[in-house]
Amino acid sequence: MKKKSWFGAGLLLAVLILAGCSNVGSAATNNKVQTAASNNPEATAAPEQRVISTTVAITQMLDALDVDLVGVPTSSKVLPVRYDDVTRVGNPMSPDMELVKSLKPTEVLSVTTLEYDLKPVFEAAGLQANFLNLTSIASMNQALNTLGEKYGKQAQASAIIDKFDDKVEEIKTAIADKEKPSVLILLGVPGSYLVATEKSYIGDLVRLAGGVNIAQGEDVEYLASNTEYLHNSNPDVILRAAHGMPEEVVKMFDKEFKKNDIWKHFKAVQNDRVYDLEEALFGTTGNLYAVDAIDALMGMLYP
């Protein structure tokens, strides 16, 4: 069967940042500075941090780091209780720029998977947004470390990073002597689906769990689906991730697998190794549920 070409597709979804100073001068000079500061408390007061998080994953991370926010995303998902009374600024993919601007933020945070679409929008509104790279465990650890340093929460950041690192080492030991299964990851949104590569967050989780993604050597996170090529790859396992409206997307997948006759010829389908990933654990960007997600994958890849 002739191998068909793949087409890269940018998924419009809904995906990172100090300076130091030194003190110079004699003891006498230092004493004068300290005296002046004590007479003027405002001179030494740290500037107010007015941080806005525009995605659920970042909001959860900042909660774990004990960082207060002035704005959080509007979402059907439950946000940390500490932000119950914080202003909702709109959907992660289309924040309300006027509302964001009115909150006078010192920092606005989004993810790199949305940077292409949102950066010009923020710039047009006169806002400087920082986009965190959460496409892998390693990049998420970097983002946590940067946030921890910036907001004086290094201890909290280190604790989270250590937890992730410990899990990765645990998995490496557990799969050392196991045969690595080939895996196809489908990312579904209402009405369509794409193939997730190793560059995607779920693809990174599969890699860490020992799975071999059939979409190797790509520079993008997602590719257009080509069932004929996918069948030639004939993966051991098919993972179906739903985004946006999970129940609707699962129904779409079920309909596609029944209607399109080619799926019944897949080894994974014949061996009943098709799994729907729980959206709460498997987001499109890195999040604090990474440890639970890898544990869940282990049961799918090594039943």
Between helix 56-64 and helix 137-150 the angle, nearest 10°, is 50
User: At residue 122, does pLDDT exceed 90?
Assistant: yes
SS3 182: strand
Which pLDDT value is given to residue 47? Answer: 67
Chain center to CA of 25: 46
Distance CA 249, CA 220 (A): 22
On the 0-12 / 13-18 / 19+ scale of CB atoms within 10 A, 184 is: buried
Pick from 194-203, 221-230, 259-268, 285-294: least confident: 221-230
User: At residue 35, does pLDDT exceed 50?
Assistant: no
**Nearest C-alpha neighbor of 164 from the set 221, 205, 110, 131:** 205
Distance CA 196, CA 239 (A): 10
In this structure, what token pair is assigned to residue 257?
């697998």
Please write the tens of the pLDDT for every residue from 68-88. 999 999 998 899 999 999 999
Work out the pLDDT band at 9, boundaries 50, 70, 90.
very low
On the 0-12 / 13-18 / 19+ scale of CB atoms within 10 A, 188 is: buried
Please write the tens of the pLDDT for every residue from 84-103. 999 999 999 999 999 999 99
SS3 2: coil
Work out the pLDDT band at 11, boundaries 50, 70, 90.
very low
User: At residue 51, does pLDDT exceed 70?
Assistant: yes
Which pLDDT value is given to residue 243? Answer: 84
Domains and CATH numbers, the chain: 47-165 (3.40.50.1980), 177-301 (3.40.50.1980)
Write down the mean pLDDT value for the chain. 86
Please write the tens of the pLDDT for every residue from 129-165. 999 999 999 999 999 999 999 999 999 999 999 999 9
In this structure, what token pair is assigned to residue 14?
């809904």
In this structure, what token pair is assigned to residue 144?
């946590």
The percent helix, strand, coil of the chain (3-state, each to 5) is 45, 15, 40
Distance CA 174, CA 97 (A): 47
Pick from 7-16, 136-145, 292-301: least confident: 7-16
Which pLDDT value is given to residue 19? Answer: 29
On the 0-12 / 13-18 / 19+ scale of CB atoms within 10 A, 114 is: buried
**Nearest C-alpha neighbor of 154 from the set 230, 65, 90, 62:** 65
